[in-house]
Amino acid sequence: MKRKLVFATNNRHKLDEVREIIKEDAEIVSLEAIHCHEEIPETADTLEGNALMKARYVREHYGMDCFADDTGLEVEALDNAPGVYSARYAGPGHDSEANMRKLLAELQGKGNRKARFRTVIALLLDGKEYTFEGIVNGSIIEEKRGDRGFGYDPVFVPEGYTETFAELGEEIKNKISHRAMAVQKLARFLSDLH
């Protein structure tokens, strides 16, 4: 029987991406599926801290094995900002358009446009905690391109490519993205438990 794991998200994009990678090793359920509708706090000052905070919340309140992720875009010329504040860079709420506008404005006139996406996944399983990290290096372009993907995808070009994540599409992104790398590490770990 497949192990059931809660993924502490209701983000449809993330759920689909993760289910595609982990399909053999566990049944992945969303927060909605376990009737968790409250806003889970993410007040740590690191990606690891936020991921652990979300996973621990589900474990404490719902008693289920769980994993959670936190992702940040780290831009070299901005001292690795927005980082842990990526989703709320332009202020409260999750407005990707406003976040991208602010990022592009901050980078105006800067020659160094190196950036990386970093995802940390925290897994709480059988009373133990594990973390997995995925990093993809790339750069920030000067204006948005592409209409697939979400978040900062339209302004991020991964190393070795000429198209943004929003132009590459799900299939390629799911193979090379930061989240995909972290999820593949998680999948290998789950697979090794059998």
Catalytic residue among 25, 65, 70, 153: 70
Task: Count other Cβ atoms within 10 Å, centred on residue 89.
Answer: 22
Report d(CA 70, CA 185) in Å as an integer. 15
CA dihedral 179, 180, 186, 189 (to 10 degrees): -150
Task: Count other Cβ atoms within 10 Å, centred on residue 34.
Answer: 17
Angle, vertex CA 48, rays to CA 47 and CA 50, nearest 5:
65
Do β-strands 128-140 and 114-125 pair in parallel, antiparallel, or remain unpaired?
Answer: antiparallel
Active site residue 70: yes
Which residues are the active-site residues? 70
